[in-house]
Amino acid sequence: FFFFDSLQDQFDNLEKHTQWGIDVLEKYIKFVKERTEIELSYAKQLRNLSKKYQPKKNSKEEEEYRYTSTRAFLATLNEMNDYAGQHEVISENMTSLITGELTRYVQELKQERKSHFHDGRKAQQHIETCWKQLEASKRRFERDCKEADRAQQYFEKMDADINVTKADVEKARQQAQLRHQMAEDSKAEYSSTLQKFNSEQHEHYYTHIPNIFQKIQDMEERRIVRIGESMKTFAEVDRQVIPIIGKCLDEITKAAESVDHKNDSQMVIEAFKSGFEPPGDVDFEDFTQPMKRTVSESSLSNSRGDGKSEPKFGSKSKGKLWPFIKKNKLMSLLTSPHQPPPPPPASASPSAVPNGPQSPKQQKEPLSHRFNEFMTSKPKIHCFRSLKRGGAGPEDFSNLPPEQRRKKLQQKVDELNRDIQKEMDSRDALTKMKDVYIKNPQMGDAASVDHRLAELGQNIEKLRLEVQKFEGWLAEVEGRLPARSEQPRRQSGLYEGQNPSGVNSCAQDRESPDGSYTEEQSQETEMKVPATDFDDEFDDEEPLPTIGTCKALYTFEGQNEGTISVAEGEMLYVIEEDKGDGWTRIRRNEDEEGYVPTSYVEVYLDKNAKGA
C-alpha cells in the first residue's frame, strides 16, 4: 500500500503541475490579447489625432499648407496615419498567430491531459484490484491451513482416546484429510494469484505507468516549447513592422529637412506684396513764419508752386500713404471739411454770397494738429452706408493692391481657361458621338446632340470673352497695355446725392467746402478703397444721435462734398458740434446730413444729450 499511496501522490502532483502549466498558457494568451487591444486603441488614437489636425477642405487652413513648414507637418500627419496602420498590423498578426493558435492548442492540451490521467487512474485501479485479489487468496489460504491444523490435532486427540468409538475416530480422520485438501487447494490458488499479481505489478510499474508518465512529460514539454515559440513570435511580429515604421520616421525626417525658411518667407512676401510705393518725406513745417490761408484756387496754386502747401495724404509728393492707415481714419480725412468755413455775410439777405472770401486773419493749421485730429476723429460721412448695398468687390479686383490684384486676375484667367478646356472636351466627345450616330443611325439620333453642341459653343464663346476681358485687366496691371482713359470701376451708388456731376467715388474730384482745391484723377485711383472691407467696417455703425437743434441765420449753398444746403430760418438737428475747425454737422432727415459753417447757424444744445 505504501507504493500505491506514493504512486497516487505522484499522480496528484503531476495533475497539479500540468494544470498550472495550462493556467500559465491561458495567462499568456490573456496578456497577448490585452496587448492587441492596446495596439488597436493606440492605432485608433493616432488616426484620430492625425485626422484632428488634417486641414479642412475648402477652408482657410487648406491655404496655409502651401508653406514648406506646414507641408512638412501635413506629411508628418500622413506618416503618423501609416504608423498607426503598422500598429494595427501588429494587433492582427498577434491575434492570428498567437492568440488564436494558442487558444486552439489549450483546448487540445486539456483533452490530451484528461486522457493521460484517465489512463493512469485506470492502471492504478487495475493494480489495486489485483492486489486485493492476492490479499483475499492469501487470507483464504491462511484460514484453510489453520483449519487443517485444528482438524489434524482433533483427529490425533480422538485417535489417542480409548473411550472414543472407531466411527468417531474415522470421522475425525476424514475431516482432517478434507481440511488438508482445502489447504492445498488454497495454497495452489494463492500461488497462482501471487504469480499473476507479480506479473501485473511488473507490467504496471515498468510498462504502463512509465508510458503514461512519458506521455504526460511529452505533453508538458510540448506546452513549454509552444509557449516559447509564441514568445518568439511575439517579438517577430514587432520586428517585422520595424522597417516600415523606420521608413515612416525617415519620411518624417525627410519632410522636416525639406522645410525651407527662405522659401516660406518669400511666399509670405509674394502673398502680401501690395505693389505700392512707400510714402515720401514729410515736409518741414516752419513755425517761425506765420502762414496765411487763402480760399481762392489761384492762391492755393501759388502756395503749391512755392512748395509750402499743407501736406495731404494721397498727393504725388507724399507717395501712397493710405495703405498704412486705417480705413475709418482715411475716410474721415477725405470727407470731414477741415478747410476753414466761409465767414458769415454782412447781412441776412438771401442775396448775400455765402461762399465768399474767408478772413485773411486765419492762420494755416499746423500739420501736427491736423494729424492728431485725423487720428482721433470719427468718419464724418454717411454716404458710405450705401456700400452695404454693393455686396462683393468689383469684378476687376480694383479694390485690391496692384500685386494682389494681379494674382487674383491671373487666378481668374487660369480658372476660366480650365472651364474652357472642360467645355471643349465635352464638345469633342459629343462630336464623336454624333459621328457615330451618323454612321450607325440605329444607335441614336444625330440631331439630338445638336442643341447641346450649340449650347457648348455658346458657353465656350462666353468664356473666351471673359478670358479676354480679364487678360486685358491683367495686361493693364502688368504694364503691357496703356492705362485706360475711363474712370476705374467703382461701387455704384456712392455719393449719388452729394455729387450730381456724375462722379463715381467719394475720393474723386474731392474739394474742400470752400472750393479751395480738387484732387487729380490719378490720386483718386491711388486712394481707392476696397468696398468689401468697408462693408464690414460699417455693418455695425449706428446713426449719430441728435444732441440739439439749430436755426439757420443765413442761406448756405452746400455745393461741395460733405456739406449740406440750408435756407435762412430753417430749423435742423445738430448731430456733431464744432470741434474747433469752424464746421457743425447737422441733419435734416434720415438721408440728408452734412456740414455747415458754425457762424451760419445758431445752435441750441440739449443739456441731457450725451456729450452736450
Contact yes or no for 345/339 (Cβ under 8 A): no
Torsion of CA 546, 547, 553, 556, to 10 degrees: -50
Kindly state whether residues 421 and 570 are assigned to the same domain: no
- Phi then psi for residue 595, to 5 deg, are -105, 145
* 13 or 580, greater pLDDT: 13
Per-range mean pLDDT, top range of 21-35, 278-292, 311-325: 21-35
pLDDT at 394: 81
What mean pLDDT is predicted for residues 569-585?
87
**Among candidate residues 189, 54, 58, 208, the one with its CA nearest the CA of residue 133:** 189
Report if residue 407 sits inside a domain. yes
112 and 225 inside one domain: yes
**Residue 369, in any domain of the structure:** no
Looking at residues 7-18, what average pLDDT do you find? 82
CATH number at residue 151: 1.20.1270.60
Classify burial at 365, counting beta carbons within 10 Å of its beta carbon; exposed 0-12, middle 13-18, buried 19 or more. middle
Q: Please report, rounded to a whole number, the percentage of residues in the chain having pLDDT higher than 90.
A: 28
Report if residue 374 sits inside a domain: no
Residue ending a domain, choose from 264, 279, 306 = 264
- 442 is written with which cell numbers? 440605329
Model confidence at 558: pLDDT above 90: no
pTM of the model: 0.48
Q: Kindly report, residue by residue over 60-94, the tens digit of the pLDDT.
A: 766 777 889 988 999 999 999 999 999 999 999 99
pLDDT for 142-158, tens place per residue?
A: 998 998 898 888 888 88
- The full DSSP string for 375-439 is HHPPP--SGGGGGGGT-S--TT-TTS-HHHHHHHHHHHHHHHHHHHHHHHHHHHHHHHHHHHHHH
Q: How many domains does the chain have?
A: 3
> Is 80 exceeded by the pLDDT of residue 293?
no
Residue 606 near residue 591 (C-beta atoms within 8 A): no
In a domain, 564, yes or no: yes
481, three cell numbers: 497695355
What are the tens digits of pLDDT across the range 92-129? Answer: 999 999 999 999 999 999 999 999 999 988 888 888 89
Instruction: Mark which of 478, 501, 531 sits at the end of a domain.
Output: 478
Whether residue 425 is found in the same domain as residue 565:
no
Gap between the Cα atoms of 574 and 549, Å rounded: 5
Please report the beta strands in 531-587, taking only residues with DSSP state E, as ranges in sequence order: 548-552, 571-576, 583-587
Asked whether residue 370 is domain-assigned, the answer is no
Same domain, 439 and 562: no
Give the Cα separation of 384 and 388 in Å (integer): 8
- Percentage of the chain beyond pLDDT 70 is 70
Report the alpha-carbon distance of residue 116 to residue 213 in Å, rounded: 8
Of residues 366, 363, 364, 344, the one with CA closest to residue 353: 344
Q: Which amino acid makes up residue 267?
A: M
Q: In 10 A of CB 564, how many CB atoms? A: 17
Q: What is the DSSP string of 481-507?
A: SPPPSSPPP--TTTTTTT-TT----TT
Point out which residues pair with 552 in neighbouring strands. Answer: 601
Q: What is the CATH number of the domain that holds 554?
A: 2.30.30.40
First to last CA, the chain: 123
Q: What is the pLDDT of residues 382-427, one digit of tens each?
A: 333 333 344 457 887 877 777 778 888 888 899 999 999 999 999 8
**Banded pLDDT at 204 (limits 50, 70, 90):** confident
Calculated CA dihedral for residues 575, 579, 583, 585, nearest 10 degrees = -10
CA 219 to CA 112: how far, in whole Å?
Answer: 8
φ, ψ for residue 518, nearest 5 deg: -130, 135
Is 130 a domain residue?
yes
Last residue of a domain, one of 236, 264, 292: 264
Counting other chains too, the contacts that 530-533 makes at CB distance below 8 Å and 24 or more residues apart are 530/393, 530/399, 530/400, 531/387, 531/390, 531/393, 531/394, 531/399, 531/491, 532/392, 532/393, 532/399, 533/327, 533/399
Do 473 and 562 lie in one domain? The reply is no
CA distance 293 to 361: 8
d(CA 472, CA 484): 10
Q: Is there a contact between 508 and 488 (Cβ–Cβ < 8 Å)?
A: no
Question: Is the CB of residue 252 less than 8 Å from the CB of residue 79?
Answer: yes
| Residues in CB range of 598: below 8 A, 6 or more apart | 341, 578, 582, 583, 584
- Tell whether 159 is covered by a domain: yes
Q: Report whether 245 contacts 86 (CB < 8 A).
A: yes
**Is residue 474 located within the same domain as residue 559?**
no
588 falls within a domain: yes
Domain that holds residue 227: 10-264
| Strand, coil or helix: 520 | coil
| DSSP three-state, residue 604 | strand
* Maximum pairwise Cα distance, the chain: 199
